[in-house]
Amino acid sequence: MKIRMMAALSYMGILCLVPVLLNKTDRFIDFHARQGLVLWIWSVLSFFAMHIPGLGPYLFSTSTVLVLFLSAFGLVSVALNTCWKIPLIATVAPYVCAEPVGESPSAR
């Protein structure tokens, strides 16, 4: 149960830093923490898009909706105890943290 809670924190905004910093051994948590961190970075960067004249608010609102949808997708993955790779996010996620716990886990 603790593993699922830590993995679920990965998709809750800045709380993604808790599993990133505290996880040392579990590949399931590491997998979700990396994807959640990429989503959080995307949401932070989308705030800067608001300052682009004309398109800024549209880019921000589109990014916000996508991040919320993909976070919900990740939470469902945690609830089902699986490791679904979020499209595009999963390709960036392995490069986010310096020390991987292990290879990306297969579906559980």
Q: Rounded to an integer, what is the distance from CA 92 to the centroid of its chain? A: 10
> What pLDDT is recorded for position 105?
52
Going by pLDDT thresholds of 50, 70 and 90, the confidence category of residue 107 is very low
- Which residue from 44, 76, 77 is spatially nearest to 63, judged by alpha carbons? 44
> Which parts of the chain are beta strand (E)?
none
pLDDT, one tens digit per residue, over 51-104 is 888 898 999 999 999 999 999 999 999 999 999 999 888 888 888 875 655 555
- In the chain, where the domains are located: 2-95
Cβ atoms of residues 93 and 38 within 8 Å: yes
